Amino acid sequence: MASRRGAGGRHIRDRGCKAAVLLSWRGTVVSISMGDITDQDVDAVVNAANSSLMGGGGVDGAIHRRGGPRILEECRRIRSESWPDGLPSGRAVITTGGLLRARHVIHTVGPVWRGGGHGEARVLADCYTSSLALVKEIGLASVAFPAISTGAYGYPVSAAAGVALGAVKGFVEREGWPPAVSFVLFGGEGLRAYEEAAARLARGV
C-alpha cells in the first residue's frame, strides 16, 4: 500500500484505508484517507443520506446494505415520529450501526449543487456541524465522514473539501470535541482535494 504525504501531517495505515494524513486541532486528531466508509471501526460513521432516510445509491446504499435491516427500521421510526415530511438538508439524526463495525450511523442530507449561489456551502457546513453536535450530545469519541454531496448531488469535491474541513475545524475549536475525526474518501481525486484543502487551511488561505 503506497504512502502519501500531504498537509504537513504524518501518515498512518488503518484497515480499509490508504495513506491517512494526521492533523491536530485543539487536541482532536483528524485523519484524511482513502478507504471504505462502511469498514470504519469508530463510534459513528456519517451517511450521506437523502431526505427520505430510506436508503439510496452511493454511500447511502452501501451503508444500508452492509449495516442490515435494523438501520432502516430505525430510520422508519424517525420518519414516523419526528420527520414525517423527510429530513431537511443540513439536519442530522442518529441510528444504530446495525452490522457495521461502527456502533452508530449519523444520517445527514447534503445540498444539491446548483452552481454555488444558492446557499449550498452553508447547508453543507450545517451537515458537518449538525452531525458533530449529535456526537457531542451522545458522548461519542470518534466519527468518520464521507465527502457529503460530492456524488449524485454534484457538489465539486474541490469546493466541498474546504467547506467540510472548515466546518469541522470550527466546531472542534469551539467545543473541544470529539477526540477523533476521520474523513474517508472514495478515490484519489477526493483524497487530493482534501489534502490540498487542509494545506490551504493550515496557511490561513
Which one, of 126, 150, 128, lies nearest residue 59 by Cα? Answer: 150
* One-letter identity of residue 24: S
Give yes or no for residue 79 having a pLDDT over 60.
yes
Q: Which residues carry out catalysis?
A: 60
Assess contact for 165 and 179: CB atoms under 8 A: no
Query: Quick check: is 4 in a domain?
Result: no
Q: What is the pLDDT of residue 30?
A: 96
Give yes or no for residue 98 having a pLDDT over 50.
yes
pLDDT higher for 10 or 104? 104
| Structure confidence at residue 20 as a pLDDT band (50, 70, 90) | low
> What tens digit of pLDDT does each residue of 21-65 get?
889 999 999 999 999 999 999 999 999 999 999 999 999 999 999
Query: Quick check: is 89 in a domain?
Result: yes
Residue 45: all three cell numbers together: 460513521
Query: Quick check: is 3 in a domain?
Result: no
Give yes or no for residue 19 having a pLDDT over 70.
no
| Structure confidence at residue 205 as a pLDDT band (50, 70, 90) | low
Average pLDDT, the chain: 91
Residue-number span of the structural domain to which 155 is assigned: 10-203
Q: Which residues are within 8 A (CB) of 188 and not within 5 positions of it... i.e. 6 or more apart?
A: 34
* One-letter identity of residue 68: G
Provide the 3-class DSSP secondary structure of residue 93: strand
- Which CATH number does the domain housing residue 85 bear? 3.40.220.10
Query: Quick check: is 128 in a domain?
Result: yes
Assess contact for 159 and 17: CB atoms under 8 A: no
> What tens digit of pLDDT does each residue of 147-189 get?
999 999 999 999 999 999 999 999 999 999 999 999 999 989 9
Query: Quick check: is 173 in a domain?
Result: yes
- The residue-averaged pLDDT of 72-91 equals 98
**In the chain, at which residue ranges do the beta strands (DSSP E only) sit?**
10-12, 17-25, 28-35, 44-49, 92-96, 104-109, 142-145, 180-185
| Structure confidence at residue 13 as a pLDDT band (50, 70, 90) | very low
Chain mean position to CA 103: 15
Query: Quick check: is 1 in a domain?
Result: no
First-to-last alpha carbon distance for the chain, in angstroms, is 32
> What tens digit of pLDDT does each residue of 132-144 get?
999 999 999 999 9
Query: Quick check: is 154 in a domain?
Result: yes
Q: How many domains does the chain have?
A: 1
Q: What is the pLDDT of residue 11?
A: 40
